[in-house]
Amino acid sequence: MSDTLAPFTTMVDLFDGRLDPERETAQRTLADLEGYFQGSSLSRSEVVYRVYGIPVPETNSEVACSTTVLEAGDIEGEYYMTKGHFHVERDRAEIYVGLSGEGRLVMATEDGRHAVEPMRRGTVNYIPGGWAHRSVNVGAEPLVFFAAYIGDAGHDYATIERRGFPVLVTRGVEGPRVIDNPSYGV
Ligand code: M6P
Ligand code: ZN
């Protein structure tokens, strides 16, 4: 029992995603996302998203949680998005709960299948093991969501950095469009 965690409670603002207490915050700028978009941006210091984490030991007995606040914007029509990752432990699943804004959850398997699901306040997206996941803000306001995943999942960014996702989400005249990624797997 000695290494059993004590119970604890965190408040989450269900509109802006801020946690209280705020324990561990990561932010990603356009510079951090270099190479992820098809186009390029002159601005490098702009923050694209922040992740507010509720850290727990990274074991398969714990559930790690975070909220993500993804800003609105695009680079040459490709909407702002997270890096996206597979789990290092490939079979670990994850759940996203939409809090505000409008997004798309782009998912892909290593053998090239893909899925795109809606994200908005009230959506509960289930990301099965084996599916890489990236969230994309297709609206005019920040996209805010809560995520929960098995503690030892780990983030494998390298596979996505190398191959990308099979599809991109871009701004079309009649709204967001999902198009094939011309650079996929290259
Ligand atoms: C969600 C979870 C986190 C992830 C974050 C940002 O909150 O999936 O594990 O870190 O989104 O996504 P990424 O790590 O792909 O940049
Ligand atoms: Zn994940």
**Ligand 1 atom 6, closest CA:** 82
Please tell me the CATH code under which domain 11-180 is placed.
2.60.120.10
For the chain, domain boundaries? 11-180
Distance between CA atoms of 125 and 155, rounded to whole angstroms? 18
pLDDT in tens, the chain (186 residues): 557 899 999 999 999 999 999 999 999 999 999 999 999 988 999 999 999 999 999 999 999 999 999 999 999 999 999 999 999 999 999 999 999 999 999 999 999 999 999 999 999 999 999 999 999 999 999 999 999 999 999 999 999 999 999 999 999 999 999 999 999 997
Which residues line ligand 1 at a C-beta cut-off of 6 Å?
51, 66, 68, 82-85, 94, 147, 155
Distance between CA atoms of 84 and 127, rounded to whole angstroms? 12
Q: Which atom of ligand 1 is nearest to the CA of 153?
A: 9
